[in-house]
Amino acid sequence: MLADFLEWGPIWTFWLNFLAIVPLAKLLGFATEELALHTSETMGGLLNATFGNAVEVIVSIVALQQGQVQVVQASLVGSILSNLLFVTGFCFLCGGYYHRDQFFNATAANTSGSLLTIAVMSLLVPAAFVTSQPDSPLLQDNLLSISHGIALIMLVIYGFYLWFQLSTHASLYAPEAEQETEEQQVSLLFAGALLLASTVTVAINSEFLVSSIEGMTEEWNMNKSFVGLILLPIVGNAAEHVTAVTVAMKNKLDLALGVAIGSSMQIALLVIPILVIIGWAIGQPMSLYFQTFDTTVLFISVLITVFLIQDGRSNWLEGMMMLAAYGMIALTVFFQV
């Protein structure tokens, strides 16, 4: 914020706000977890689902208000890719370094993989629709109507998934949580105030961050896709990255995958549909028709992830493969015009 007021230029404004949001994301996550501990298990799950990706939501809403739909779409796909390939890959690699083979709940992992496949379908269907009738005069209106309908369907699916996870099949998702009980570190009032303060601060930083993207990319001759697909996801996921890798090294791979793949599902099934609805409400053409490259690499990434987690075991080589796939995507995006 100070960089903008002192007119240091878009590069300083972007990077200083970029770095400022990283610890704020950790603080926001801590406040959410503390609030969840003061409530019932179901309400705690809903709180984590709502604020688990709050940074991505805030940054995306700010960008959407400024009409930067492509940046929003790229950052959402980038968050999913980052969690699926980069974070999960590091979990497998670092965990495999200390443990020859690691095992996790294949049933829960495969359920997550199936839901991610449905999420990818929600992007492929609009793309197929556009390809099938590119010259239709009502293409954009029909595309937005289809996107709004699919977004509502995805929200319903996510609601049923929460019921599945927190109620009917809760035992699949909390085998390790039963071994140790987390204790409250702060009061309910303090946690609520901290959540409010960190959310407002992230929103302010996001405003300056997004506003400086145009100038920063022009001065550094960098394309917006790289900013959205690679850089912005680092902001919102930094705290989760460290947490997931740390618990993977302790041989708690179920917990690590719950953080990495669980976050991907929240973005795909909850955040993207919500942003489509918000775009609908504020008059921004936020549809589920993403860039062809983004949709393609997302489909391939989900395919790789589903294939590698289906046996319920992992090793360091699988982690290397996932990191290599992410590196290929990042390199290609960097050279996009």
Give the tens place of pLDDT for each residue, 264-287. Answer: 998 999 999 999 999 999 999 999
Query: What pLDDT does 329 receive?
Result: 95
CA distance 203 to 64: 13
Number of domains in the chain: 1
pLDDT tens digits for range 8-61: 678 888 888 888 887 887 787 788 778 777 776 556 655 665 676 777 788 889
CB–CB of 90/323 below 8 Å? Answer: yes
Cα 68 to chain centroid distance, Å, stands at 18
pTM, entire model: 0.85
- Higher-confidence residue of 172 and 302: namely 302
Which CATH number belongs to the domain containing residue 328 in this structure?
A: 1.20.1420.30
Indicate the residue type of 223: N
Query: What pLDDT does 252 receive?
Result: 85
* Structural domain for 225, as ranges: 2-334
Question: In a 10 Å sphere around its CB, with 0-12 CB exposed, 13-18 middle and 19+ buried, how is residue 320 labelled?
Answer: middle
Mean pLDDT of the region 127-142: 90
Question: In a 10 Å sphere around its CB, with 0-12 CB exposed, 13-18 middle and 19+ buried, how is residue 322 labelled?
Answer: buried
* Residue 299: φ, ψ to 5°: -60, -45
